[in-house]
Structures are given as C-alpha cells and as structure tokens.
Amino acid sequence: MLTHPQFNPVALDLTPLGLPIQIHWYGITYLVAFGLFLYLAGRRVRLPWFANAGWQRRDVEDLLFFGVLGVVLGGRLGYVFFYKPAYYLQHPLEIFHVWKGGMAFHGGLLGVMVAMALFAWLRKRPFLQLMDLIAPCVPTGLASGRIGNFINGELWGRQADPSLPWAMVFPQSGLDIARHPSQLYQFGLEGMALFVLLWLYARTERAQGQVAAAFLFGYGVFRFIAEYFREPDGFLGLLTFSLSMGQWLCVPMIVGGAALWVWCGQRAGAGVKA
C-alpha cells in the first residue's frame, strides 16, 4: 500500500527573493492544457475539410479565449447549481469566492458550449462544425487537470483493498485507509484513452456533428465508470440507485451523445447541408 507523496502545491516560490509570486502546479497544468489545445487544434484546422471551410490558426487562438471564459464561468456556476444550490442561495456573495475552490466539469462543458455558440454566431460558422473541430483537443486538457488534482491530493478515491498494489492513503482525507487513486484513473480514461480514440476517429471526415457526439458519449461513459472509484462528495453522498451526482450528470451526456451521433448520420445521409 502506498501513501500519497504530499507534493508541495507551489512549484516555484519567488517570495524569498522579495517578489510576491508563487506559481502553483495546478496553474501549470492549466497552462499545459491551453498549450496542448493550441497545438492540437492548430493541426486540425489544416485538415482539408476544415481548411476548405476557411478555418485558420488565428481562429484557434480566439476559440481558446472564448473557451477559457466558458470553462471558468460555467464550471463555477455548475458547481453552485449542481452541487450546493441551497448553500449558495443563503450565501450568494460566496459564488464569487473562486479562490476557495469549487468547479464542476459538467458546468464547464455547458459554459464552453454557450461560449462556442456565441463564437459561431459572431463568426457565422456552423456550430456543429466548430464543435467537431475542438472536441478531440479537449481530453488532453482534462488529463492535465487530473494530474493537478493528484498533485494536490484532492478528489481522492473510494476505499480500496489494501492488497491492491497501487492502493494509496491520502492524508488530506483525514482517514488512514487505502483508497483508489481515482485521479489517475480519470487521467487514463477520460483523458488519454478518450483522446486516442477521438483523435483516430476524427482523422477521417465524418458527418457534421458526429465527432462532437462521440466526445459527449465517450466522456460520459468513461466518467461514469471512473465515478465508481471516486469518493462522492461528502455533502451529497450517493443518490438514487447508489449513483453519484457525477454519474447522474453523465447520463444525459451518454444518451444525448448517442442520439446526436445517429441524428447527424441520418441528416448527412439525407443530404442536408449545414
């Protein structure tokens, strides 16, 4: 049985030099995520079906700006409304206390979709085409974020059999018990595995919207599986059918992704143009 290494969350501390600057590992993982997005999306705009539609590198840089706004605003509001609506109804000003933590992926996803819809409207671009462009570039950012969670020793897993070779004690949990390092499971599933599958699938031109649909479906399935190993939020616990909130939020992603994939294929087969 292992023990979490208890990394120092501060990667670089310049305060001893008289500079009020601390660079945290979690911030670095965000920068890595943004850099990977720029690189991967920059490659995708060179694919013939995107290049012929007029997509260029500068569009990618603008998309990143819109995406960051969507992630931050949507992730925060998602946490507020999905996980602690009663608390924030009583303490509305704390919604803005983002430095205390509290972000939700599913809220961030909705925020990004709204931001991308706004971008598509402003640039007169088909929304589904835009989502197909960026979808395969997202999982590496998710993987980077899960590494940040592991470094911080947060979002730990459920109790595991101590004989499991990679079972780990997370002192931050307050209990000296073996747990699943669920952050690393999520890194592997919704991060790297989803990236490889989507990247290979998206190398060939698909019916418009099907790559985005595959992301919704794939993320929903992988996250649903990973939630069986992740400790549910203490203030919520397990909900109906012993599923976590994260799993319930994945259900519409799985169903919606599958339905969107079928609808886009039928639409393309009928010769409907975007």
Please state the residue numbers annotated as binding site: 146
**Alpha-carbon torsion, ordered 234, 169, 177, 152, to 10 deg:** -10
| Cα–Cα distance measured from residue 19 to residue 2, given in angstroms and rounded to the nearest whole number | 37
Say which amino acid occupies 179: R
3-class SS at 157?
strand
| Cα–Cα distance measured from residue 71 to residue 79, given in angstroms and rounded to the nearest whole number | 12
Q: What is the DSSP letter of 163?
A: T
Query: CB of 69 within 8 A of CB of 152?
Result: no
Q: What are the start-end ranges of the H helices in the chain?
A: 25-44, 48-51, 57-82, 85-90, 105-123, 127-134, 139-152, 182-186, 194-201, 210-226, 245-269
| Cα–Cα distance measured from residue 263 to residue 34, given in angstroms and rounded to the nearest whole number | 31
β-strand pairing of 10-13 with 168-169: unpaired
3-class SS at 131?
helix
Query: CB of 66 within 8 A of CB of 130?
Result: no
